[in-house]
Amino acid sequence: MNLFAQEKLLFTPAQKNLNPIPLIFAFPNEYTVGITSLGYQLVWANFSLRDDVVVSRLFMDVHENLPRNPELVGFSFSWELDYVNILNLLEFLNIPIYAKDRNENHPLVFGGGPVFTANPEPFADFFDIILLGDGENLLGNFIDSYQQIRQSNRNQKLTHLAQTEGVYIPSLYYINYQEKDGQIESIKPVNNHIPETVEKQTYRGNVLSASTVVTEKAAWENIYMIEVVRSCPEMCRFCLASYLTLPFRTASLEASLIPAIERGLKVTNRLGLLGASVTQHPEFESLMDYLLQPKFDDIRVSIASVRTNTITEKLAEFLTKRDTKSITIAIESGSAKIRQLINKKLENEEIIQAAINAQAGGLKALKFYGMVGLPEEDLSDIDATIEMMAQVKKVAPKLKVTLGCSTFVPKSHTPFQWFGVNSESKKRLQYLEKNLRKIGVDFRPESYSWSVIQALISRGDRRLSKLLELTRNYGDSLGSYKRAFKELKGEIPSLDYYVHENWQIGQVLPWQHLKTALSEETLIKHLQQK
């Protein structure tokens, strides 16, 4: 069965000029996962709409006709542990996995997406080019810049591309270490022609993104996705989704959202409203009223995580009428102390009221996101979460209540980037599971062990490339990481250094040369605010 034949396109690819750039654009997972990624859809459409690029898609299980001699091979990277599939796809294309081993006969390998924009360093040795930030302007500037030096040699191409804003060429930066397995001493460009820092690109328009393709083979069948907001105004101190993507931007109701909805409903009756804080859109009430029109009675609307104190009875009724049975909110902790520490502007009463409103509006289930291992947390804070869940069950007995819970993982470019993972977190997840089961709450913990690996990659530097290669060769299991660390002892820092240690303010961080919305000085101020 041809998966591509079942796609409904919402754009018309451009007619190509006489000598378009042959480009492969890959997603390092299966088709059903990749085609559900709005980021992947948008970049693919962006390339397809150019007359000077001919783009072929590549997934782990299926691909379009691939050019014999591609000039560019790109990856959309949105989940850290998919790096194994990136290496597998490079080998499938007969491209050396390390950038230093490629020659004039090989394409330039580029990557973009949230993993790279956060911290590309663990993967830097595998890529010639990394694109940092929003794609709206960055992609066009990247291809335009490449066209200017298309006939030059590999080195000239990379040096030229390094002058383009948001384009990071890892090989043109030298990392010096205090010792082989010690801290970073400095990160410097290899010469004066290369910028000292690369700044993430931020799109500031009010027309945000929407699906470019709809298919029943997507992980969310036939869904048409619309980005309602970008970033989040709350700025919880651990939150990459907020800090990395600042400033908070909202799509115009008239110029962006309504036209996008009308486009999408021509091909499907399922809408997904996306964003870290969808209900904080200033015109969200008007958007609800628009979607409550009788002509939309047969459509299904699903909504991303919403801010707790915006769950009104009207919102719950709207979702119920539009065939959504549950809603998800992030409370992080039932402890007021912890919420204040992380800058979660939320009171216990608001959480309780959200549950009451969800039940009154006809919803069947309420899903909470929580976290353990946050700085200064102790067992009394875990007990506060259990007590909060018990109160929710009491005030809304008809709701199925679920608590999904992760372990705090430090993220780059956030005020909590200097904290390590709390090794007590595993016990705290087990304590929650035991006690929440007693009160009828469905508890869904994320794996503590994989949170450790996530933290390793989140805070990693370039020395991890060898470790990642070994881990893949050893079978890509949790045991593979331990075996690889053992083999590389003395060559790279320990797992504890990357994952559990609190880092010193002032030490050189792996992403020091990559700039986002806020300076390190501002992050320190946010860290010190109580």
pLDDT bucket at 9, cuts 50 / 70 / 90 = very high
pLDDT bucket at 241, cuts 50 / 70 / 90 = confident
Calculate mean pLDDT across residues 180-185. 96
What is the rounded average pLDDT for all residues in the chain? 95
Structure tokens at 403: 């608590």
Give the per-residue pLDDT at 305.
78
Listed in sequence order, the DSSP H helices in 371-503 are 379-395, 425-438, 448-458, 464-473, 478-487, 495-499
Interval 74-84: pLDDT, tens:
999 998 889 99
- Residue 530 burial (CB < 10 Å; 0-12/13-18/19+)? exposed
pLDDT bucket at 304, cuts 50 / 70 / 90 = confident
* Radius of gyration of the CA atoms of the chain, in A: 24
Listed in sequence order, the DSSP H helices in 133-215 are 135-148, 154-161
Amino acid symbol at 506: G
Residue 169 has pLDDT above 80, yes or no: yes
Cβ–Cβ under 8 Å, residues 114 and 457: no
pLDDT bucket at 478, cuts 50 / 70 / 90 = confident
Residue 226 has pLDDT above 80, yes or no: yes
Interval 429-476: pLDDT, tens:
999 999 999 999 999 999 999 999 999 999 999 999 999 999 999 988
Highest mean pLDDT among 304-308, 322-326, 510-514: 510-514
User: Within the chain, how many helices (H) and strands (E) appear?
Assistant: 19, 21
Give the per-residue pLDDT at 2.
86
Give the per-residue pLDDT at 1.
58
Residue 211 has pLDDT above 70, yes or no: yes
Structure tokens at 265: 């409903």
| Backbone φ, ψ for residue 272 (5° rounding) | -120, 120
Distance CA 330, CA 501 (A): 27
Interval 18-73: pLDDT, tens:
999 999 999 999 999 999 999 999 999 999 999 999 999 999 999 999 999 999 99
Give the per-residue pLDDT at 61.
95
Where, residue-wise, is CATH 3.40.50.280 in the chain?
4-199
pLDDT bucket at 418, cuts 50 / 70 / 90 = very high
Structure tokens at 286: 């008007």
Calculate mean pLDDT across residues 144-165. 97
Residue 302 has pLDDT above 70, yes or no: yes
CATH of 4-199, one of 2.160.10.10, 3.10.290.10, 2.40.170.20, 3.40.50.280: 3.40.50.280
Calculate mean pLDDT across residues 170-174. 98
How many C-beta neighbours within 10 Å does residue 156 have? 11
Structure tokens at 45: 């459409």
Among 464, 472, 504, 333, which Cα is nearest to 408's? 333
Cα torsion for 60, 32, 250, 264, to the nearest 10°? 130
CATH of 222-459+503-528, one of 3.80.30.20, 3.20.20.70, 3.40.50.300, 3.40.50.620: 3.80.30.20
Distance CA 431, CA 182 (A): 36
